[in-house]
């Protein structure tokens, strides 16, 4: 079963291990895998932002990914996923879909749209988000594109008789 554990500063080495095990993501961006002190700084920075959430994703107690998202950003009714990363050797096993479903089941009631950012030119990420019901939403190329999906919308059953 998938679990999401809030990240604390002492989890920075686990996040670094995840990054090292997923070099293809950083290659897509044209970046080197961050070194340990950069990851520690990244976690520290996130922890100072009241709207930002960092979570480790665990499967049978093993770290298989991470989730980085921000509540009420860019609009008060939005939740923006900055990063949903699944460890390289755990990809294509449904973990990303499970992680997203787990998050969507916890979206605060005031959120009506979930955005997912795709950094750089990443067609694999675009395909993932589109398979999850997200559609192109915001163009901020070349750095990022955002895909969006409505959530917490009332169900309409048509005209009353």
Sign of the Cα torsion 39, 32, 97, 157 reads positive
Q: Could you state, in order of their start, the residue ranges of all structural domains in the chain? A: 2-150
Domain 2-150 has CATH 3.40.630.30: yes
pLDDT at residue 29 greater than cutoff 90:
no
Answer for the pair 43, 68: CB distance below 8 angstroms, yes or no.
no
Q: What is the pLDDT of residue 154?
A: 64
Q: What is the pLDDT of residue 143?
A: 79
Q: What is the pLDDT of residue 157?
A: 59
Distance, in Å, from the CA atom of 87 to the CA atom of 23, rounded to the nearest integer, reads 9
Element (H, E) at 71: strand 62-71
| pLDDT tens digits along 85-137 | 999 999 999 999 999 999 999 999 999 999 999 987 888 899 999 999 999 99
Q: What is the pLDDT of residue 53?
A: 97
């Amino acid at each position: 079963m998938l679990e999401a554990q809030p990240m604390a500063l002492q989890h920075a080495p686990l996040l670094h291990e995840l990054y090292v095990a997923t070099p293809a993501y950083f290659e897509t961006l044209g970046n080197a895998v961050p070194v340990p002190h950069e990851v520690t700084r990244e976690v520290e920075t996130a922890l100072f932002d009241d709207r930002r959430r960092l979570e480790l994703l665990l499967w049978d107690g093993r770290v298989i990914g991470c989730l980085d998202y921000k509540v009420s950003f860019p609009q008060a009714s939005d939740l923006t996923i900055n990063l949903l990363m699944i460890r390289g050797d755990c990809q294509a096993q449904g973990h990303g879909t499970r992680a997203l479903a787990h998050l969507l089941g916890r979206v605060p009631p005031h959120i009506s749209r979930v955005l997912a950012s795709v950094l750089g030119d990443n067609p694999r990420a675009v395909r993932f988000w589109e398979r999850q019901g997200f559609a192109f939403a915001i163009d901020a190329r070349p750095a990022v594109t955002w895909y969006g999906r409505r959530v917490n919308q009332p169900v309409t059953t048509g005209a009353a008789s």
